[in-house]
């Protein structure tokens, strides 16, 4: 596989393709082959490791994997870190899978701290597939199934730029982490800024772009890059810190919907009702937040599809030793994204909240 940053891949799902994806995600029951080891007759054990046990994004991913595992007669173990910063918990889960004699691991990694454990698992003969979050380097694993997070960020950035209609943008960026570098974090942030037409410095670094300048529609000021750890209370605290620096913020990017909810709470407490709040995930609660006006738009992703495709890839690998190939020019299997908003802008394809609700998780 070519080793180049995943954010350079630019791809957007059409509304029709998204609808097709939703149907495909519900029709994986055709994969019913016995996946026991043909030579030894042993059952096939696989572990899926997510970033925390409770967030709906990760539980949807697990549900997709569980359905595919049931269909394929795979014994699935579900593990997770205590939260999105718990690398030690993920390392222990990897070591448990190796000790148990699993055939494969599906992991949404918590960052480079787990790299050595992934390498050790592959050295022990396990197939390791990344879900949602590409590893750094991306070829550390056998294959990656993920949203194009840079493109997902770009979609909400383009929507904001068009929605402002030339008004100056005073921007708060609510990121995930400030204590480690994770690809999904900088890809989403940098994609958003790129979508707004703001010049990037290093596209793998958050916060190094010029704090003032011009976007595609007018002038901008970036007030803050604050970490939330992907949590609601983190998003609320981050937004409060940003508002203490500039109470005139009118654009809020949040790296995930959970932190976006916290940011929206802080805006409401400050009496700010007209800021454009955008986020990424596309959960049912996130789509409801768009419908209610709390969010202006979200980029919808499909974690259940990631889990399903991951299990099906394990089955394929056990059957014939091959894995699904990414599309030409990409180094990961893209599981799709769609812009969800009830305020469509000209020239940018989107689906409304009714369509988003039919595909949400």
- What band does 35 get if pLDDT is binned at 50, 70 and 90? very low
Residue 58 included in any domain: yes
Domain holding 325, by residue range, is: 31-147+303-330
Query: Residue 279 and residue 281: Cα distance in Å, rounded?
Result: 7
Would you state the pLDDT for residue 55? 86
Q: How far is CA 169 from CA 320, 345, 347, in A?
A: 53, 17, 20
Residue 119 included in any domain: yes
- What band does 42 get if pLDDT is binned at 50, 70 and 90? low
Q: Indicate if 324 and 194 belong to the same structural domain.
A: no
Residue 69 included in any domain: yes
Q: Indicate if 184 and 62 belong to the same structural domain.
A: no
Q: Indicate if 106 and 173 belong to the same structural domain.
A: no
Q: Total domain count for the chain?
A: 2
Q: Indicate if 163 and 288 belong to the same structural domain.
A: yes
Q: What pTM value is reported for the model?
A: 0.82
φ, ψ (nearest 5 deg) of residue 31: -85, 90
Residue 293 included in any domain: yes
Q: Judge contact between 198 and 209, C-beta under 8 A.
A: yes
Buried b (16+ CB within 10 A) or exposed e, 307-331: bbbbbbbbbbbbeeeebeebeeebb
Q: Indicate if 222 and 354 belong to the same structural domain.
A: yes
Query: Residue 188 and residue 156: Cα distance in Å, rounded?
Result: 10
Phi-psi region of 213 (alpha: psi -120 to 50; beta: other; left: phi over 0): left
Q: Indicate if 169 and 272 belong to the same structural domain.
A: yes
Q: Indicate if 233 and 314 belong to the same structural domain.
A: no
Residue 336 included in any domain: no
Query: Residue 208 and residue 38: Cα distance in Å, rounded?
Result: 53
Q: What is the DSSP string of 324-347?
A: PPPPTT-SSEE--EEEE-SS--TT
**What integer is the mean pLDDT of 328-335?**
95
Q: Indicate if 252 and 105 belong to the same structural domain.
A: no
Q: Indicate if 92 and 179 belong to the same structural domain.
A: no
pLDDT tens sequence across 206-247: 999 999 999 999 999 999 999 999 999 999 999 999 999 999
């Amino acid at each position: 596989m070519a080793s180049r940053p995943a954010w350079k891949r630019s791809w957007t799902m059409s509304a029709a393709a998204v609808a097709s994806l939703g149907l495909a995600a519900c029709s994986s029951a055709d994969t019913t082959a016995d996946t026991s080891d043909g030579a030894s007759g042993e059952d096939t054990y696989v572990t899926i490791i997510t970033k925390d046990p409770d967030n709906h994004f990760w539980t949807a991913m697990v549900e997709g994997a569980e359905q595919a595992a049931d269909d394929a007669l795979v014994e699935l173990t579900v593990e997770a870190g205590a939260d999105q910063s718990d690398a030690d918990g993920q390392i222990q889960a990897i070591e448990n899978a190796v000790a148990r004699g699993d055939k494969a691991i599906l992991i949404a990694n918590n960052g480079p701290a787990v790299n050595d454990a992934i390498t050790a698992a592959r050295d022990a003969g396990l197939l390791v597939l990344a879900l949602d979050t590409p590893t750094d380097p991306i070829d550390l694993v056998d294959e990656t199934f993920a949203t194009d997070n840079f493109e997902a960020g770009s979609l909400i950035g383009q929507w904001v730029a068009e929605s402002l209609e030339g008004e100056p943008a005073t921007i708060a960026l609510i990121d995930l982490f400030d204590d480690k570098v994770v690809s999904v974090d900088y890809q989403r942030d940098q994609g958003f800024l790129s979508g707004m037409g703001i010049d990037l410095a290093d596209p793998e670094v958050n916060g190094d772009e010029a704090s003032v300048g011009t976007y595609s529609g007018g002038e901008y000021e970036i007030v803050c890059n604050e970490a939330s750890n992907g949590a609601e209370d983190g998003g609320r605290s981050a937004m409060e810190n940003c508002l203490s620096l500039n109470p005139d913020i009118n654009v809020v990017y949040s790296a995930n919907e959970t932190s976006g909810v916290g940011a929206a709470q802080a805006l409401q407490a400050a009496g700010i009702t007209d800021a454009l709040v955008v986020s990424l995930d596309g959960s049912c609660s996130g789509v409801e937040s768009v419908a209610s006006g709390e969010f202006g738009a979200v980029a919808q992703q499909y974690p259940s599809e990631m889990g399903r495709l991951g299990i099906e890839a394990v089955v394929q690998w056990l059957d014939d030793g091959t894995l699904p190939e990414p599309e030409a020019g990409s180094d990961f299997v893209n599981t799709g994204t769609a812009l969800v908003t009830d305020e469509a802008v000209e020239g940018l394809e989107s689906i409304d909240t009714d369509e988003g609700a039919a595909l949400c998780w």
